[in-house]
A and B are shown apart, each in its own frame.
With several copies, the nearest count.
Chain A
Amino acid sequence: MDKITFREASRAGIAEALKDDSRVFLIGEDVGRYGGCYAVSKGLLDSFGAQRIIDAPLAEAGFVGAGIGAAIGGMRPIVEIMTVNFSLLALDQIINNAATLRHMSGGQISVPVVIRMSCGAGKQLAAQHSHSFEGLYAHIPGLKVLYPGTIGDARYMLKMALDDPDPVIIFEHVMLYNMEAELPEKQTIAPMEKAVIRRTGHDLSIITWGGCLYKAMDAAEQLKTLGIDAEVVDLRCLRPLDRVTILDSVRRTHKALIVDESWKSGGMSAEVSATIAELGLWYLDAPINRVCSAEVPIPYAYHLEQASLPQVAQIIAVAKQMMEPFNASIRDPL
C-alpha cells in the first residue's frame, strides 16, 4: 500500500466530511486561495468552492465565534485556527461560549463545532509561534480535546469529532505534517476518546500524545537495544482523559514516564501524573517522571530551540535512570 503524509491524511478527512455532509464547511485564515498556512487545505477550494472553503479575515474571535454560532444554527463547521498561538485571541469565544452554552442553557443548545489548530515547536519560529496549549484546553469542561499523532488518527478522527454533538478541539503538530506512513483501515481506528497502546512493554510506561509520540516510539525502540522494554501509551484524547488505560498500563509496568512538549509546570503532563498519584500510587516502583519543554519562551536559535524541547536522548536517559534500583530516590527540588 502507498504511503501518505499526515498532511494528506488530514486533508482527506476534511474532503470526506465536505463530501458526505452538506452542513460541513471549512473556515479559517487562508484556507482557500492560499491553500492553508501548512497546506493542509490545498486544493479544497477548487473542489468545493468558496461557499464551503471560506477565507476568513484576521479576526480570530470573530470567525471562531462565527463558527460556534453557525454550529448552533445547524451547520457543522470545521474552523481552522492557523496556529494555537493565535487561538488566544479566540479563547473567550471557545471557553466562555462554546464550552458553556449547553450547560448554561440547561441542555437546550448544542455546539457541534470542530476547531482544528496547528501547534508545537521545532521550526525555529520563536516564542510567539511555538506554543503547546493542549493542557489549557483540556482543563475546560464542555470541550473535548483530540491530538492525533498517527496517520490513521489524522485521517479518521475528524469524522468522529464531527459526529460528536459537542465542541471538539483538534491539535495538529506542525512537525508531523510531512510524516509518512501507510494509511491503516478505518475499522482499526479506536474510538476518539480511547487512549491506545502503540507499543506494549513491561518495564515502564511512556505516556505521551501528538507531537511527542514518534519521539517516544523512537526512544522505546532504542531502549529495547538496551534491554529495556518500554510500553508507549498514546493518549490521543486529552479530554475526556482515558484514565483507565493509563492506570492499566502503569499497573503492569510499575513505572510512568510522561513526555509532553508543553512547559513542565502546569502542563498536561501534570494531570497525567496527578491521575496516577491519586489512583495508581501503589502501582509505582519509581517516582513519576516528566520529560517536557524547558521553562522558557521557545527561542529561535536552532540549538537553543532543540535544547528547550523534549528529545529522544532525554527520554532514554530518564527511562534508564528510572530502571536503576535506587534511583527512585529523592532528587533536589527544581
Chain B
Amino acid sequence: MSNNKLHVNRIHLHFLLKQMIRIRRFEERCVTLYNEEKIRGFLHLYNGEEAIAVGVMQALTAQDAVLATYREHGHALARGLSMDIVMAEMFGKASGCSGGRGGSMHLFDSSQRFYGGSAIVAGALPIAVGIALADKMLQNQAVTCCFFGDGAVAEGEFHESLNLAKLWQLPILFICENNLYAMGTALELEQSNQKIHLKAASYGLASQVIDGMNVVDVEAAAKLACSAIRNGAGPHFIECQTYRFRGHSMFDTQLYRNNDEVEQWKKKGPLIQLTQWLKDNHQIESDELQAIELAVDKEIDAAVRSADAAEIEPVENLLKHVYTEVSHG
C-alpha cells in the first residue's frame, strides 16, 4: 500500500479502519437525520476525506491542540469527542459538546484541546498561530494542528498566518485538505498556482504533498512532521490530496462537476483502499470487518437515542456564556 510504512501492525490498521468507518457511517446517518429535520443549519460532510483526520490524529498527543473547519465531524470524532456529545450538539441539545449553541459547524471540547469548528473560511488559522505562540511561550511541548481546505488558501488570513508561523518559528502543523473544490469553484479558478504545497514553501515552511486517501501515508507524514516540530523545526505544511464524495453541504446540486469524476475518486476512497489492502494481504477476516461495522452502528444508534432523549437548554439561559459569569472590578 505505501512506501512510507511505519511500524504498522494489524491491530493498528484495524483501529484506523474502524475510525474511518465510524466517521463514514456517522456522516451517512447525519444525512438521514438532516432529512428528518433532527439536524439543521448547514451540514458539511467529510465522506471521502476520512483518512486525513484519522491519519493526522495518530500523530497528536493529548497536549496538542486541534482546530478545524465547518466540515469537522470527522476531526472531532477522530480526536476523541464521543459521538454522544457530537450528535447531541447537532440536535441542538444542552448536553451537546457546545451546549447546543454551536451546531454542526461549531463542535468544541476544550478538555481535548479541540478548539472547533470554525465557519469562516481561513478564520481559524490566525487563532492556531496564537495557540501555538502561547504554547511556545509557556514552554508546553505541544503542537497545534490546523485543518483547512484548498479554498482557504486564497484568503488573506492564510497568507498572514503562514508568514507569522514561520517568522516566529511556531510549533504548528498546517493540514490542507485539498479536495479540488471550494463549494462549486474548482481549484484552477481559485488559485493562480495550483500547487498549494509550493505556495506554502514560499514562506519557508517545510512543505509536502501526499495522497490524502491513504491513511497510512497520512499518518506517516504527520508523524514525521510532528516529530520535527517537536524538535524545534518550526511549522510544517502538508497538502493532502483528497476529494469529497458528497456535495459541499446539503444544499448542493453539484452542477459544477460530473458524476464520472466523482465515481473515479470513489474508487480511490480511503475506506475501500484500506479494506482492500487488508483483505488482499489477509489481514482482516470478514467477521472482523462485520464486527467493526456492527460496533460502529451500535455506537451511532446509541448516540442518536441519547441525543433524542436529551434536554434542550432552558430559554432562560439564552444570554448565558456571552460573558463569563464573574464579579470583578
Report if A and B touch in the complex (beta carbons < 8 A): yes
Q: Mark B225-265, 1 if CB is under 8 A from A, else 0.
A: 00000000000000000000000100011011000000000
Count of CB-CB pairs between chains A and B under 8 Å = 289
Q: Given known contacts A192-B329, A300-B100, is B134 in contact with A70 (CB within 8 Å)?
A: yes
Rounded to whole angstroms, the CA-CA distance of A301 and B96 in the bound complex is: 10
Q: Which residues of A contact B100 (CB under 8 A)?
A: 106, 299-301, 304
Q: Which residues of A contact B156 (CB under 8 A)?
A: 59, 61-62, 89
Q: Which residues of B contact A49 (CB under 8 A)?
A: none
Top 10 A-B pairs, shortest CB-CB distance: A69-B130, A65-B126, A106-B99, A34-B184, A73-B134, A62-B160, A191-B329, A300-B103, A301-B92, A59-B160
CB-based contact A55/B185 at 8 Å:
yes
Any A CB within 8 A of the CB of B319:
yes
A-B contact pairs, 23 of them (CB 8 A): A58-B152, A58-B190, A59-B156, A63-B164, A70-B133, A72-B134, A73-B131, A75-B138, A97-B120, A101-B116, A102-B322, A103-B321, A105-B102, A106-B108, A124-B40, A125-B105, A126-B103, A127-B101, A300-B100, A301-B313, A303-B313, A303-B315, A304-B315
Among A107-115, A202-210, A246-254, the stretch in contact with B: A107-115
CB-based contact B184/A30 at 8 Å:
yes
Q: Given known contacts A29-B183, A128-B119, is B101 in contact with A304 (CB within 8 Å)?
A: yes
A96 to chain B, nearest CB (A): 5
Q: Which residues of A contact B92 (CB under 8 A)?
A: 124, 300-304
B180 to chain A, nearest CB (A): 13
Any B CB within 8 A of the CB of A37:
yes
Q: Which residues of B contact A65 (CB under 8 A)?
A: 123, 125-127, 129-130, 157, 161
Any B CB within 8 A of the CB of A132:
no
Chain A residue at minimum C-beta to C-beta distance from B92: A301
Q: Mark A50-92, 1 if CB is under 8 A from B, else 0.
A: 0100011111111111111111111101000000011001001
CB-based contact A106/B42 at 8 Å:
no
Q: Mark B288-329, 1 if CB is under 8 A from A, else 0.
A: 000000000000000000000000110100111111101011
Rounded to whole angstroms, the CA-CA distance of A34 and B138 in the bound complex is: 27
Tally chain B residues at the interface, Cβ within 8 Å: 81
Q: Which residues of B contact A29 (CB under 8 A)?
A: 182-183, 185
Q: Which residues of B contact A299 (CB under 8 A)?
A: 100-101, 318
Q: Mark B88-113, 1 if CB is under 8 A from A, else 0.
A: 01001100111111110110111000
Q: Given known contacts A57-B154, A89-B155, A302-B40, is B161 in contact with A62 (CB within 8 Å)?
A: yes
CB-based contact A106/B101 at 8 Å:
yes
Starting from the known contacts A97-B126, A127-B102, A142-B322, 10 additional A-B residue pairs (CB-CB under 8 Å) come to A34-B252, A59-B160, A73-B135, A85-B120, A92-B157, A105-B102, A124-B41, A191-B328, A191-B329, A301-B100
Any B CB within 8 A of the CB of A164:
yes
Rounded to whole angstroms, the CA-CA distance of A105 and B321 in the bound complex is: 9
CB-based contact B185/A33 at 8 Å:
yes
User: Among residues 141 to 181 in chain A, which have CB atoms less than 8 Å away from a CB atom of chain B?
Assistant: 141-142, 144, 160, 163-166
Q: Given known contacts A34-B256, A35-B255, A166-B323, is B120 in contact with A92 (CB within 8 Å)?
A: yes
Of the listed residues A35, A65, A102, the one surrounded by the most CB atoms of chain B closer than 10 A to its CB is A65
Chain B residue at minimum C-beta to C-beta distance from A36: B184
User: Among residues 128 to 172 in chain B, which have CB atoms less than 8 Å away from a CB atom of chain A?
Assistant: 128-135, 137-138, 151-152, 154-157, 159-161, 163-164, 167
Any B CB within 8 A of the CB of A296:
yes
A319 to chain B, nearest CB (A): 22
Q: Which residues of B contact A287 (CB under 8 A)?
A: none
CB-based contact B137/A51 at 8 Å:
yes
CB-based contact A74/B134 at 8 Å:
yes
Any A CB within 8 A of the CB of B26:
no
Q: Which residues of B contact A296 (CB under 8 A)?
A: 318-319, 322
Q: Which residues of A contact B19 (CB under 8 A)?
A: none
Q: Which residues of B contact A193 (CB under 8 A)?
A: 329
Give which listed residue, B96, B123, B132, B167, contacts A57 with CB less than 8 A. B167
Rounded to whole angstroms, the CA-CA distance of A193 and B131 in the bound complex is: 29
A residues apposed to B, CB below 8 Å: 23, 25, 29-30, 32-35, 37, 51, 55-75, 77, 85-86, 89, 92-93, 96-97, 101-110, 123-129, 141-142, 144, 160, 163-166, 191-194, 294-297, 299-304, 307-308
Rounded to whole angstroms, the CA-CA distance of A73 and B170 in the bound complex is: 13
Chain B residue at minimum C-beta to C-beta distance from A34: B184
Any A CB within 8 A of the CB of B210:
no
Rounded to whole angstroms, the CA-CA distance of A34 and B186 in the bound complex is: 10
CB-based contact B155/A72 at 8 Å:
no
Any A CB within 8 A of the CB of B65:
yes
B212 to chain A, nearest CB (A): 20
Q: Which residues of B contact A60 (CB under 8 A)?
A: 155
Any A CB within 8 A of the CB of B121:
yes
CB-based contact A75/B134 at 8 Å:
yes
Rounded to whole angstroms, the CA-CA distance of A160 and B138 in the bound complex is: 23
Of the listed residues A25, A37, A193, A302, the one surrounded by the most CB atoms of chain B closer than 10 A to its CB is A302
Q: Which residues of A contact B320 (CB under 8 A)?
A: 107
Of the listed residues B99, B118, B164, B326, the one surrounded by the most CB atoms of chain A closer than 10 A to its CB is B99
Q: Which residues of B contact A58 (CB under 8 A)?
A: 121-122, 151-152, 154-155, 182, 190
Any A CB within 8 A of the CB of B174:
no
Any A CB within 8 A of the CB of B201:
no
Of the listed residues B131, B151, B322, the one surrounded by the most CB atoms of chain A closer than 10 A to its CB is B322
A212 to chain B, nearest CB (A): 19
B325 to chain A, nearest CB (A): 9
